[in-house]
Structure 1
Amino acid sequence: MKYRSLPPLSWHLPCRLLALCCALLLSACAGPSRVPAAPPALFADSLFEPALALPSEDEIFALTPAMRTYTQAVSRDRRGKEIRRALFDALYRRDQLQLEYDSALTRTAAQAFEARQGNCLSLVIMTAALAQELNIPVVFQSVPTEDSWSRSGEIYFNSGHVNLKLGRIQREAPGGYDADAYTVIDFLPPPDGRQRDGIPIGRRTIVAMFMNNRAAEALARGQLTDAYWWARGAVLSDPNLVYAYNTLAVVYRRHGELAQAEATLRYALARDPRSAMALSNLAQVVENLGRIEEASVLKAQLARLQPEQPFRYFNQGREAMQAGDYRRARELFQRELRRDPTYHEFHFWLAAADYMLGDLYAAEKHMRLARDASTTRKDHELYAAKLDRLKAHQR
């Protein structure tokens, strides 16, 4: 299951990140090419309350005294092991940190270490900070993966994939990095367990991803001012991170600044014409502006680019549930699960449809799958309680 204490992992390991999309859409993962700084006209500071104090790159990766004590213990107790192997073992031993995956909040290195939990990006940042304190070379990677969607209300999140390489120091060349000998660490390995080659990305890109995640989380809480400054920070940290512009546009749209949202989305699409998220959001913004024919053209373009929109069958299934057509709802939830069999909410709603149809065995099965696939403590506890009630109902 996704919400759990992390198990011991194999020596060669790859990690998941978050991005955003909104009935209105937001997303992730950058390529290697560089671009100039974002045009100043894309920012609208005067529309928002004074700036949120964003953490610097150094603050995001900063170690606490407790973390330094931890790295000293790793180095002292390694018993002849190579230092990166010693760190690897210390991270995943059950009597050590006992890390839990929790996607509710993107944390700094210090926050993740103190909480002993975090989403994948948080845990990657924490591991990098510990590794660098031990003088272990670190390489961040963006790993191509199939789209993975989740939602919070009407905001839809598209998760990308990041992993972390720990390198071996070349003793003949102090400070050098042996590219042929590395350990890949992944806190949420691919379902098929197969390693995929990644694209090296810089620390500034990781910082931009962190800020984009924080913007998405602020949006989900309805905190538009915070979301603006985080999204702005993401764009400034790495102008190459195209989906950060999409996040910024979502903030503008929710703030009622449709013209600013349109300009930002058109800039994103000029950078990446095949961004389904930017195109979907642009179609909605143009429709909101009353340009219905133009919006129809954009929607047709989107349908060609993305024939099956995420959550389409799920939303239809919820409508069927509301109408009392539980059989139809079950069919629609099953279709959505064929697209993504790992998303907890699809299993939860399928369990609800099965329950209404009197199939308690199937309801219990999918409620268990929902619990096991949950990515936050809150969802895990919710599904566990409902599962207990289902079991009690069958006694």
Structure 2
Amino acid sequence: MISLLATMLGGCATSTPKAPPQPVQAPPLNLDLFGPPAHIPDEAEIFELSEFQIQKLNAFLARFDDETERHWQLARFIHEHLSDFDYQGRTLTASQALQDQQGNCMSLAVITSAYTRHLGLEYDFQLMRTPPVFEREGDLVLVSDHVRTRVYPSSSESGDDPELRAGRRAIIDYFPERKRVPSSPVSNQDFLAMFYRNLAAERILDGKTNEAFWLAQRAKSISPDNASVLNLLAILHRRAGDETTAEALFRYGLEHHPDDINLLHNLYAMIESQDRHIEARALLERLADLPDHNPYPRILLARQLTEEGFLSRARNIYESILDQMPYLHEAHWGMAVIHAQKGDDESARKSLATALQYTRANRYERLYNAKLHALKSAH
């Protein structure tokens, strides 16, 4: 109050231009919490190909005389040589993903760009506007987005006409048969930040918090105001016991992304756990005005209704979730429980089998296999 009053009184005597508002400074990270820096693959390592992998591509391309069609030939090569690719994998470097024949959509984009770099072709990345994919691992909910790669013909074939080049580009996509609406281009730097962010999230799931932090820190150094990176760093600080830095990171992220669901959810959960109910209620009101497709609060409600015997209401919730997210194994599991309680063992067995098809966590696989075996034995 004294400072404000003095400024107001001084303003009566002189007229000075207002200083522009100072940008909010990013809070410092608590490096001491996370041990010595872990090994982090650099850009060259991410896109590096082995000699064998390069020879395999060159042998395939030697079948074609027309080098102006290299982008289509590359697309054909990827289609043929990744036919057994397991898309349930993780974020891997190009060489790792090819060697293991597995990886997520980002791994496929890394493979594509690695080959494209080798051929000297132009490419870019595109973030797709798709329904978010949710998956729960312990006390974490993972929200996945989708990126694809576009490879362009050489300028000698299409000249400098951007429309002609865009019309002849090859699109390498994780699920090409799905209808997807393009969202926004992704720069190479932003793609790198997304790669390190993915690795960091996977290390958290593996219980390697220190390694996760240094990967997230690398992502932040590339894309300082990235909402998901800031959210991840805040989560890591909170899990390490530093809720002060965690809150500062959440709030800094919301300065740049005021409507980010994940930042708001996580800040709300932390403040509510500290019994700061008035502040938490204000955040909850902000969340209520935003669309949120997170299915897990509804799953918890359906489980509670099932336990209390309100099977029809629980079933309606599970069915509404599966209409939106048919991949969610917990909802299929919930349906199996309801079928079993109603004495419909055949439907329960089918729901369990579907849950088993979609699950990737070993503990759920063991659980569903055991339940499925028990139902088959009873039948």
User: Normalising by the residue count of structure 2, what TM-score does the alignment of the two structures yield?
Assistant: 0.83
Equivalent position SS for 2:166:
strand
- Cα distance in 2 between the residues matched to 1:320 and 1:188: 36
Matches within 5 A, 1:187-226: 187-189=174-176, 193-226=178-211
Of 90, 102, 114 in structure 1, the residue corresponding to residue 77 of structure 2 is: 90
Does the CA-based 8 Å contact 1:360-1:390 persist in structure 2?
Answer: no
How do 1:183-262 and structure 2 match up within 5 A? Answer: 183-189=170-176, 193-262=178-247
Letter in 2 for 1:268: G
Between 1 and 2, higher relative CO (CA 8 Å, sep ≥ 6) is seen in 1
Q: Confirm whether residue 41 of structure 1 aligns to residue 24 of structure 2.
A: no
SS in 2 for 1:147: strand
Matched residue of 2:97: which SS?
helix
Q: For the residues of structure 1 that align with 2:358 and 2:201, how far apart are their CA atoms?
A: 21
- Which of 294, 318, 343 is 1:333 aligned to? 318
Contact kept in structure 2, 1:211 and 1:230, CA below 8 Å: yes
1:123 maps to what in 2?
A: 108
CA–CA distance in 2 between the matches of 1:377 and 1:183?
34
Contact kept, 8 Å, 1:102 with 1:377, in 2: the verdict is no
Cα contact 1:368–1:387 (8 A) shared by 2: no
Report the CA distance shift for 1:297/1:195 in structure 2 as closer, same or farther (over 3 A). Answer: closer
2:216/2:233 contact within 8 Å kept: yes
Tell which deviates more after alignment, 44-53 or 173-182.
173-182
Q: Offset of 1:157 from its aligned partner?
A: 0.9
Letter in 2 for 1:242: A
Mapped to 1, the partners of 2:363 and 2:55 lie a distance apart of: 34
Q: 1:222 to 1:326 in 2, by over 3 A?
A: farther
The change in CA–CA distance for 1:114 and 1:195 in structure 2 (over 3 A counts) is same
Amino acid in structure 2 at the alignment position of 1:222: G
- Partners of 1:318 and 1:86 in 2: how far apart? 51
Residues 150-191 of structure 1: CA distance to partner in whole angstroms, max 9, x if unpaired?
A: 11111001111111101111216889972332111111347x
Which has a greater percent of helix?
Answer: 2
Long gaps (5+) in structure 2: 1-22
**2: distance between equivalents of 1:387 and 1:292?**
41
- Give the residue type in structure 1 aligned to 2:373: R
Structure 1 residue 128: Cα displacement: 1.2
Is the counterpart of residue 53 in structure 1 residue 48 in structure 2?
no
Q: Deviations over 1:347-376 (max 9, x none)?
A: 2332233234322232233234334444x4
Larger radius of gyration between Structure 1 and Structure 2: 2
Percent of aligned positions that are identical: 27
Q: Distance in 1 between matches of 2:83 and 2:320?
A: 39
Residue 62 (structure 2) pairs with residue 71 (structure 1): no
For the 8 Å contact 1:321–1:329, the answer to whether it is kept is yes
Contact 1:327 1:357 in 2 (8 A): no
3-state SS, counterpart of residue 273 of structure 1: coil
